[in-house]
Structure 1
Amino acid sequence: MLVEVGEGVEIDAEVLGEAEAPTVLLIAGSGWSRDWWDDDLCALLVARGQRVIRYDHRDTGASTSWPAGAPGYTGRDLVTDAVAVLDAFDVDSAHVVGLSLGGGIAQELGLEHRERVRALTLVATTAIGPTAGQLPSATPEMQAVFADRGPAPDWSDPAAAVTALVEGERPFAGPDAFDDARMQSIAERVVARTRDLAASTTNHFVMDLGPTGPASMADLAGLPVLVVHGTDDPLFPVEHGRALAAAIPGARLLELEGMGHQLPPEPTWDRFVDALLGP
C-alpha cells in the first residue's frame, strides 16, 4: 500500500495479521527497507496475536526516492512519516519497535507523539538525549569500515548488488550471528524492490537530521519500554543499551549474547518476542 505523506511523497507500507489485533509498528534502520524485517520474524509476531506494519523509509524499497547524495528531506520527515503510516491504517496507538536509526525515530515518537505509542522496543540503538557517563565509540574495526567504503558497486547488476548488500551487512553482525542464507534471500528481495539502490545506500547517511528540541529520556517514564542490545554490537557497544535503559524510568533491558548491530538473530527470536510482548 502506498501512503501519501504530502508534497508528492509516497511511503510503501505493508500490514500483516488480523485487523482487530494489537498493532506492532516496525521502523527499520538507516538505508533499510521493510524487507530487512525478516518475514519469519514477522510471521512469529502474527502467530503471537499481533498485527504487524512494516514500511519502506524514504529512499528505500518502493517509497519515493531522491538522487543519490541529495536527499530532499530531513530526519524530522522520517518521524512524521511513521505517524502518517499509522494514520493510513487507522491505528490510534501502536507498540513501536525501532532498530538503530529506527530506534531514534521511535524515541522521538514516544516524546513528541506519546498518544500514538502504546509501548516502545528499542533495538541496537542509542539515546537521543543525554545519559549518565561517557559512552564508548564504535570499535576500531567498525570505524575502519566507515573510513574505507571502497568503490561503489555496479548497482545495475543485480548479482553484484546482492553481493554488495550482503557483504555490507556482515561487519555489523556478531562474530557468529551472521546468517548468510537469510541475508542472501533478503538482499535479493531488496534489489528487486528498490527504486534506486545508490540512493538507498547513501542518502540516510548524508541527510540533515533537522531541528530537534531538548530530549530527556526521563520524559518516557510511564511508557512500557524494552531496550534490546547485543553484547557484540560494534557500532553502539553494549554500554549504549545499558545507558539507554538506565535513563528511562522503568525500562527493561534484554542483552542478547553474541548479537551485533543487527536484527536479533533467529536463535534469539523466542526470547526477543517473549520480552517484546511481556509486561
Structure 2
Amino acid sequence: MNMVRKALLISMLVLVVALLSAAVFVYATGPELPENTDALIDDVLQAPLPEVVRGEQGYAESSGWTIWYEHLEPAGESKGVVMLIMGIATDSLSWRQGFIDTFVDAGYEVIRFDNRGTGMSDWEADLDHAAPDQASAEEGYDLADMANDALAVLDALDIDQAHLVGMSMGGMIGQEFALNYPERTASLTSIMSSGFVDDPELVAISHNTLLDLLRVGLRYGLNASERDMIKLNIATFGILRGEAVYELDTEPIAASVLYNLRERRGFNPLALYQHLEAIRRSGSRYERLTRMEPPTLVIHGALDPIVPIQHGEASAAVMANASVLWIENMGHDIAEPHFAGVSEAILAHMRGQEGG
C-alpha cells in the first residue's frame, strides 16, 4: 500500500512540475506586448466600432464555396482594378486601410476577398451540410482551387482583368492565378512569398519563431475573449515584424479584430491547418514559373522571420518577367512605415504595363 501511495505521490509531483514548466513556458517567456496595450484595448472596447468595410459587398460562388468580397471604387474614372489576396489563415480585413487607400486615391478600383475558410466566406464546417452536388469538406483543396475563388470574384463583378497583389500565401495564390489565367492577369505582385515554401535548399522559419507563435497562441488563444483575441493578434503582428525596427501601430489591429468578432464570424481555428495542407498539396511551382507570362514584381523584406528572403530570391530567379524590390527594415508584414514604399513600387509596376 505504501508503494502505491509513493507511486501516486511521485506521479502527482511529476504532473505539478510539468504544469509549472508549461506555465513558465507560456507566461514567463516569449514576446511581450507593447506597454500601452491594455489601455488601448480599453479605449477600443468602449469606442463605437469603426467603419472597417466601406465598399460594395457581395458573394461569389466557386465550385460550391461561397466567397465574400468587397469592391471599392475611386472618386473619378477607374484606371484599372487591383485585387488584394491575403495570406494564410487570415481574412481580407488584415489589409490595412491606409495601404488600400493608396490605390483608391491613385484612381484604381480595389477588390479584397476572404479566402475560403476565413471571414465571411465559407468555412469547411459549412460544407458538412452542403447539398450532394456541392463541394465536400473531405475532398480537400489546393492553391489552384483558391486561385479559382479569386477568378469567381472577378467573374461575379464582370471584371475581365486585374492587377494581382498577393501577400505570403496570397502571393502563392496569385502565382497560381497568373499561371493558369494569364489573360485575366494585368500584372502580378508577389510579396513575402515563395515558389516552393518547403524547398529543402532554402532557409525555413526559425525554431524560435515557431515557439513564439506557440506561446502567444497558448497564452491568448485558449480563452478567446475579446481582450485576449486582440492581444493574440497584436502579439502575432509583433512576431511577424521579426527584427525590423519600427513601432507597431496597434490601434487598427485592435479595431479590426473587434469588428471581426462583433460584426462578422470571428476567426476560424482550423484555417491554419487547412491552408497549410493546401500549400503542401500544391508542391513546387519553380518549373512552371519559368513560363510566367504576366509581368511580375517580387517584393520581400530582408528580415522576414516567416518566409525568409531567400524564398523571394529563388522565385524571382526562375520567373521570366520578374523585377524585384528587397526592403531592408521589413519583416513579414506591410506595416505603416512601408505603405508608401511598397505601394509606390506596385503602382509604378502597374503603370508600366499600362503604358502610362
Higher mean C-alpha displacement, 230-239 vs 267-276: 267-276
The structure with more radius of gyration: 2
* Residue in structure 2 matched with residue 145 of structure 1 by the alignment: 212
RMSD: 2.7
- Is the 1:59–1:203 Cα contact (8 Å) retained in structure 2? no
- From 257, 262, 275, the equivalent of 1:187 is 257
Deviation at 1:260, TM superposition (A): 0.8
Pick closer, same or farther for the CA change 1:41–1:78 going to 2, 3 Å.
same
- From 259, 269, 274, the equivalent of 2:344 is 274
Deviation at 1:193, TM superposition (A): 4.1
- Is the 2:172–2:193 Cα contact (8 Å) retained in structure 1? yes
- From 66, 69, 81, the equivalent of 1:23 is 81
- From 293, 317, 323, the equivalent of 1:246 is 317
Deviation at 1:228, TM superposition (A): 0.8
- Segments of 5+ residues of structure 1 without an aligned counterpart are none
Pick closer, same or farther for the CA change 1:207–1:147 going to 2, 3 Å.
same
Give TM-score scaled by structure 1 length. Answer: 0.87
- From 63, 66, 76, the equivalent of 2:121 is 63
1:173 paired with 2:244, answer no
Deviation at 1:145, TM superposition (A): 3.4
2:297 and 2:181 map into 1 onto residues whose CA distance is 18
Pick closer, same or farther for the CA change 1:250–1:114 going to 2, 3 Å.
closer
Deviation at 1:134, TM superposition (A): 2.6
* Residue in structure 2 matched with residue 154 of structure 1 by the alignment: 223
1:167 and 1:238 map into 2 onto residues whose CA distance is 22
Q: Runs of 4 or more off by more than 6 Å in structure 1?
A: none
- Is the 1:234–1:261 Cα contact (8 Å) retained in structure 2? yes
* Residue in structure 1 matched with residue 61 of structure 2 by the alignment: 4
1:15 and 1:126 map into 2 onto residues whose CA distance is 27
2:271 and 2:152 map into 1 onto residues whose CA distance is 24
1:218 paired with 2:290, answer yes
After superposition, where does 1:22-41 map in structure 2 within 5 Å? 22-41=80-99
The one-letter amino acid of 1:276's match is I
- Segments of 5+ residues of structure 2 without an aligned counterpart are 1-57, 129-135
Structure with bigger helix share is 2
Higher mean C-alpha displacement, 100-109 vs 184-193: 184-193
2:86 and 2:184 map into 1 onto residues whose CA distance is 18
Pick closer, same or farther for the CA change 1:240–1:48 going to 2, 3 Å.
same
1:197 counterpart SS class: coil
Provide Cα deviations, 1:216-237, integer angstroms capped at 9, x if missing partner. Answer: 22111x4221111111100121
Identical-pair percentage: 26
The one-letter amino acid of 1:82's match is A
Greater RCO (CA < 8 Å, at least 6 residues apart): 1
The one-letter amino acid of 2:72's match is L
1:184 and 1:92 map into 2 onto residues whose CA distance is 36
Give TM-score scaled by structure 2 length. Answer: 0.69
The one-letter amino acid of 2:207's match is P
